[in-house]
Amino acid sequence: MNIDHAIFINQMAQGVVKTGDGERWFSAFDLESKRGILREVNAMILQAHPTPEDVVSTVVESGLKETLTPCVLLSKPNIKVQLAKLANLPEPELTNVLKLLVRLLGIADKRRRETKPVDTVNHWWHRDLGNPQVVAEIREHYRK
């Protein structure tokens, strides 16, 4: 994933980018690109070490029905396996998967920032991505 996509996903997770804007962005990609983006989001989520409580909050806050396949899968044990399954669901499900995964990333990352010291030097995604100056610095750093 390029740095612009990674910033955009993290801006969605931080609430800087509205969900609808993220869904429109995502819908412009072909199927394989969508799956690739979801796999990258999965990697970000695993770095945030989501808890079962994070998953419960995600399903509730996502606004999706608990009975939708992505919600059911995410709620099952072994999150790493479930995340892999989500990226492989049929294309009509993938926008809901994105919505769910971005919400999980936001919840798990916020909890981590609140409970552990944050390294904003090496972990740019913990910075305020609503600040255009910060985003410009991150882009400049990764384009060198």
Res 121: pLDDT: 60
- Domains of the chain, by residue range, sit at 3-142
Sign of the CA dihedral with 69 first, then 1, 132, and 124 last: positive
- Give the mean pLDDT of 25-44: 96
Residue with tokens 């992505």: 70
Res 108: pLDDT: 94
Closest Cα to residue 54, out of 18, 100, 85? 100
Res 118: pLDDT: 66
